[in-house]
Amino acid sequence: MLIDGKAIAEQIHAETKAEVGKLAARKVQPGLALVRVGEDPASVVYVGAKGKACERLGIHSQNFILPEATSQPELLALIDTLNKSPRFHGILVQSPLPKQINEELIFQTVSPAKDVDGFHPINVGKLLMGETDGFWPCTPAGIQQLLIRSGVQIEGSHVVVVGRSNIVGKPVAAILMQKAKHADATVTVCHSRTRNLPEVTRTADILVAAMGRPKAITADMVRDGAVVIDVGVNRIPDASRPKGERLVGDVDFDAVKEKAAKITPVPGGVGPMTIAMLLHNTVQACRQQTAR
């Protein structure tokens, strides 16, 4: 009943590692450039975790850490160099970027062929059009894998996505509505302007909570037997914890788990999948760029 994101991410890591082994047999090693600007604490943690995961799987990674005051032309110049470098098949620019830098422009500058985050508009467009030769953003692709690998029937289901961000809500809707295996769902996208949200969420066979509001999905909003995917990562005060806070999702887990057929925990649900799909994409990029 609990969807174990850690265990599923490990399955994918094992598959990715096997692919890395096949590439090694022809003297190719995937390379991922990790670009971070400034010292945002969460970004330091995320980039560190991505580097470690690469190491564990035999993927070459290198950190490019620029100071907070980096100008946009300086960052563009670095991306240009990385776009041309044969040592890196994937480029990840950690968000958020400092205010003086136009994030939209940066994501458009990363070569679409190395855009393992799936944030370039050309990859987003291919995703919506159902073309299969682009990169999918990691968190939405990870959500689909969680569903597939925990035996959830997606085809014909009603998926309700709450939240319409560019990194989760809109792309996960786009993935699951396609005419394709492990998709083919009826998809509803809800958000802050949705009228009578509980009525809509109660029609979901699969509910994806991605609005970034702690415990906002309460038990009365979930149908008995629904599958619930919680994408939220919220820190709330908790005096009983050493750090004075703890991590909760967008779902009121303790209450909703009594109704849901399957549910992801936070942490240990969607979170681990994002890195797993990033490394999967990096190996795919390497295969495409070194195809003979």
By C-beta, is 164 or 246 nearer to a second copy?
164
Tell me if 9 sits within 8 A of 2, measured CB to CB. no
Site residues (CB under 8 A) for a second copy, limited to 118-177 = 120-131, 134, 155-156, 158, 164, 166, 170-171, 173-174, 177
Site string for a second copy, 167-196 (x = CB under 8 A): ---xx-xx--xxx----xxxxxxxxxxxx-
- Number of other CB atoms surrounding residue 4 within 10 Å: 16
Minimum Å gap between C-beta 178 and a second copy is 8
Site residues (CB under 8 A) for a second copy, limited to 46-105 = 104
Tell me if 206 sits within 8 A of 184, measured CB to CB. no
Tell me the C-alpha distance between 81 and 185, whole Å: 41
- Number of other CB atoms surrounding residue 253 within 10 Å: 20
- Binding of a second copy at residue 114 (CB under 8 A)? no
94 annotated active-site? yes
Minimum Å gap between C-beta 116 and a second copy is 16
50 annotated active-site? yes
Residues touching a second copy: how many (CB under 8 A)?
A: 39
Residue type, 72: Q
80 annotated active-site? no
Tell me the C-alpha distance between 161 and 197, whole Å: 11
Tell me the C-alpha distance between 135 and 79, whole Å: 18
At how many degrees (to 10) do helices 41-57 and 5-25 cross?
50
Under the rule (CB under 8 A), what is the footprint of a second copy? 104, 120-131, 134, 155-156, 158, 164, 166, 170-171, 173-174, 177-179, 184-195, 200
Residues taking part in catalysis: 50, 94, 117
